[in-house]
């Protein structure tokens, strides 16, 4: 039985019956007091606590819908963490808010927990924004002639790498006419691709083409002479080396181009980025409201003092935000 390896669209025979496939923002510290029309702090806190008792959707469809609300980015989802987010990191994040804001009652603790959770979602949003900007940058980069030249060279190098690996893995030429024909046809296609590749010196390509011609004109029609087969491998290694150097030079030129395009990408209209900016404003406004509510509550009750650190820790554990 022969064996097969997936390397692309061009088939090279392997063994007795298989084939090789060649690759063709921070928030203000000062919190202004809420206006007189705002509900009292205690009423607001009571609403938060009572809301936690809600039974939510009753049907299975309703439960499924609400459980994955905005799960694409998780900015409004009922789930505190998305797949891939670390529970211990989230707990540490929340602990830092409880240690800094030191809630001294359950209503204060609920507000602090909401502030910390909104901050976590803002950090998540920033990561999504950065990823989206990088994706837009790559989209614009791929439209340039420099990238297209780089991509063509990369494709040619992948083909040559597959060719070299096949010859090294199978040191002897195909043993019948059919596989010999398939092999030579594939090599001829590779040579044609190399000849059409801008910037690759013909002095690198033609030695490979010359050896290929010797193989095609060989008197042994059903088999490539071993010496010629070996020469094909050697010439392929030379071409691979030249392509590697060419790819490195073209990749280096992409760096300055990517920097120039970065500023232009920031000015592009993007539906996803507009949605992310809207989500950021909602989260920032939510944090600001909760900070104002916490400030008003403390002005009505008692300010948190250092001796309440232990109590704040107990409240944090009592809430058990992550299970």
Which of 83-92, 95-104, 212-221 is the least confident region? 212-221
Residue 36 confidence (pLDDT): 37
Handedness of CA 81, 82, 83, 88 (dihedral sign): negative
* 8 Å CB contact between 20 and 162: yes
Cα 184 to the center of its chain, rounded Å: 40
Show the CA angle centred on residue 31, arms to residues 26 and 36, nearest 5°.
145
Say how many C-beta atoms besides its own lie within 10 A of residue 41's C-beta: 22
pLDDT-derived band at 7 (thresholds 50, 70, 90) equals: very low
Percent of the chain with pLDDT over 70: 66
Residue 62's H or E segment, with its range, is: helix 60-67
Reported residue count of the chain is: 323
Say how many C-beta atoms besides its own lie within 10 A of residue 264's C-beta: 11
Q: Does 79 or 273 have the greater pLDDT score?
A: 273
The whole-number average pLDDT for the span 19-43 is: 40
Per-residue pLDDT reduced to its tens digit, 259-312: 888 877 766 667 777 888 888 888 889 889 988 888 888 777 654 455 555 566
Rounded distance, CA 136 to CA 149, Å?
Answer: 20
Rounded distance, CA 188 to CA 114, Å?
Answer: 66
Domains, the chain, ordered by start: 41-47+79-141+285-319 (no CATH), 144-265 (1.20.120)
Q: Specify the 3-state DSSP secondary structure of 305.
A: coil
Which residue reads 């602990």 in tokens? 95
pLDDT-derived band at 59 (thresholds 50, 70, 90) equals: low
For residue 104, pLDDT beyond 90: no
């Amino acid at each position: 039985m022969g064996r097969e390896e997936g390397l692309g669209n061009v088939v090279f025979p392997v063994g007795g019956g298989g084939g090789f496939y060649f690759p063709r923002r921070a928030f203000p510290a000062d919190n202004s007091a809420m206006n007189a029309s705002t509900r009292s702090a205690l009423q607001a806190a009571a609403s938060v606590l009572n809301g936690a008792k809600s039974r939510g959707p009753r049907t299975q469809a309703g439960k499924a819908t609400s459980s994955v609300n905005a799960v694409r980015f998780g900015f409004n989802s009922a789930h505190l963490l998305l797949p891939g987010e670390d529970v211990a990191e989230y707990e540490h994040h929340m602990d830092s808010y409880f240690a800094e804001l030191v809630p001294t009652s359950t209503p204060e603790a609920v507000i602090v927990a909401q502030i910390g959770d909104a901050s976590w979602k803002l950090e998540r949003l920033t990561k999504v924004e950065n990823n989206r900007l990088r994706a837009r940058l790559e989209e614009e980069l791929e439209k340039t002639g420099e990238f297209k030249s780089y991509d063509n060279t990369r494709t040619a190098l992948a083909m040559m790498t597959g060719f070299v690996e096949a010859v090294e893995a199978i040191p002897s030429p195909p043993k019948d006419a059919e596989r010999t024909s398939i092999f030579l046809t594939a090599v001829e296609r590779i040579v044609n691709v190399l000849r059409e590749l801008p910037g690759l010196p013909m002095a690198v390509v033609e030695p490979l083409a010359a050896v290929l011609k010797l193989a095609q004109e060989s008197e042994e029609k059903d088999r490539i002479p071993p010496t010629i087969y070996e020469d094909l491998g050697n010439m392929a290694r030379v071409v691979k080396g030249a392509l590697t150097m060419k790819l490195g030079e073209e990749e280096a030129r992409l760096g300055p181009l990517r920097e120039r395009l970065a500023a232009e990408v920031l000015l592009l209209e993007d539906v996803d980025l507009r949605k992310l900016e809207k989500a950021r404003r909602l989260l920032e406004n939510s944090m600001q409201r909760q900070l104002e509510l916490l400030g008003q509550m403390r002005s009505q009750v008692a300010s948190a003092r250092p001796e309440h650190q232990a109590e704040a820790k107990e409240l944090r554990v009592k809430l058990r935000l992550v299970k």
